[in-house]
Structure 1
Amino acid sequence: MKKILLLFCCTWCLLITGWSQDVKQLLQKGEELEAGLKDETAYQQYLKVLELQPNNHTALYKASILADRLGNRLSDKEQRNRYYRTAYKYASKALQLYPQSADAHFAMSVSLGRVALMSSGKELVESVKKIKYHADRGIQLNPTDFRPYHVLGRWYYEISNLGSFKRGAVKLFYGAFPDASFELSAKAYEKSLSLNPSFILNYLELARTYDQLDQRTRAIEMLKKLQYLPAKMEDDQRIKEEGKKLLQKLSA
């Protein structure tokens, strides 16, 4: 009996070791594919990790971020929302299992931004409130991470750019209109840019914010810099094209 138990334990240990090695290789491959601008294939790698280790921290938040990214590229609303719901599911699980993870809070802040697009009324406002909470929490946990500062920049921008009807709805559910301005948006984007000068989307969003602040010269400066930056993410070429069109418009 002891020999059988020992054999079973040895076999189980070998299986666990094999799975751990597989997971490590899959995670490494996923990161390589992301760097190679192949988000869909990278996403599939992280899903394979979750088949082996459903609670894997890296795979959960990476799958959430990539599902959001992939969904955002789709024109079909139903398919797009399906990706967004999947992203929210993975972000929620990551946050439940790892509440002190800055990555999990960042993933949730991004996912809630997508959820807000599918929502209205009180649910919309609740999502908006939670976006800022998770971005702020991500900064508290990792002040050197550029990503939550970018989320804050977008949050301040969108709140400041709301129409009168939506501003009224936000004020109703908040109790008072939140402290938001294009100045705060620019400050958050500038902080994100200082932490990661190679993140292309910061340049485009900062240019848009400067334009709102009637700082056209600074906006044009950002857009010119944008054109010379190498693509680091799959969406970067599209972002550069948007920047080129905005540059032409502001330079006219």
Structure 2
Amino acid sequence: MTEDRFCLFSARTQTSAVYLSVRSDDAAFLWRLARASRDLALLSSISADEKKRLTYEAFDYAKKALEKNQACFAAHKWFAICLSDVGDYEGIKVKIGNSYTIRNHLEQAIELNPKDATSIHILGYWCFAFSELAWYQRKVAAVIFASPPTATYEEALAFFLKAEEVDPNFYSKNLLMLGKTYMMLRDVKRAALWLTKARDYPAVTEEDKQVRKHSQIHLLYRLQRRNVHVWPNAGS
């Protein structure tokens, strides 16, 4: 961790402790703490142990936010996000077992705020993930649920397009997922269009940089091998 990031982390930790003692009933404050902890967990400079600790810390804040205010759309959204993150540490059975809960909270977030593009995007990602579930994961799901969660690429596409309609160009990963979904639906020309947009999206965050790399090196390369026209980089 760089000195600047260490200072930021230390300051955030101390500030959170102080404010949490006086604002622990404020759902809006708690879900923002969840988001801040998760943002820190995603930094590449964070150690594996610290990443895990921050992931569970984020979930605890999100859970408290939801307990304080069930009518807060962001509390539902961040609870769903953080519950999914925690599942990465608790095994495939737990992660799949949480799937209906995650979808339920995303749907509640969208119902409370239909203009939140991020919640719509994440629900699209949920559908995409269950569309490409591996056979052994489907077997696990069948053991856990009488009716295992299912979804289609068409459903995922509808959510990604809706998110883009609500807030155009809001998130590099939504552009990437549109491209990937069109590829799964074998619509390579539309896939090329959206993957090019993802590649050319301003890379501000670490995630943006990964999206650019993924779209350019892996996906656009595959499209070029199929002789599909790929637009040149806007900066070239």
What TM bracket, shorter-length normalisation? 0.7 to 0.9
SS at 2:98 equivalent: helix
- Number of corresponding residues: 214
Q: How far does the alpha carbon of each residue in 1:208-234 deviate from its partner, in whole angstroms, 9 at most, with x for none?
A: 121111122111100112233334655
TM-score, with normalisation over the residues of structure 2? Answer: 0.81
Kindly indicate whether the alpha-carbon contact (under 8 Å) linking 1:210 and 1:218 is maintained by their aligned counterparts in 2.
Answer: yes
Counterpart residue number, 1:66:
36
Q: How far does the alpha carbon of each residue in 1:81-113 deviate from its partner, in whole angstroms, 9 at most, with x for none?
A: 211101100000000001110000000111111
Counterpart residue number, 2:220:
247
CA-based RMSD: 2.4
Which residues of 2 match residues 1-252 of structure 1 at below 5 A?
41=8, 44=12, 47=16, 49-74=19-44, 76-120=47-91, 122-198=93-169, 199-231=171-203, 233=205, 235-245=207-217, 246-252=219-225
Kindly indicate whether the alpha-carbon contact (under 8 Å) linking 2:199 and 2:211 is maintained by their aligned counterparts in 1.
Answer: no
Q: Distance in 2 between matches of 1:63 and 1:208?
A: 32
TM-score, with normalisation over the residues of structure 1? Answer: 0.76
Q: Which runs of 5+ in 2 are unaligned?
A: 226-236
Q: Distance in 2 between matches of 1:225 and 1:78?
A: 35
After TM superposition, the structure 1 stretch with the greater mean CA deviation from structure 2, 87-96 or 149-158, is 149-158
Per the TM alignment, residue 128 of structure 1 is displaced from its structure 2 partner at its CA by 1.4
Q: How far does the alpha carbon of each residue in 1:183-229 deviate from its partner, in whole angstroms, 9 at most, with x for none?
A: 11111111111112122110011211211111221111001122333
Per the TM alignment, residue 51 of structure 1 is displaced from its structure 2 partner at its CA by 4.7
* Percent identity of equivalent pairs: 24
SS at 1:120 equivalent: helix
Q: Which runs of 5+ in 1 are unaligned?
A: 1-37
SS at 1:118 equivalent: helix
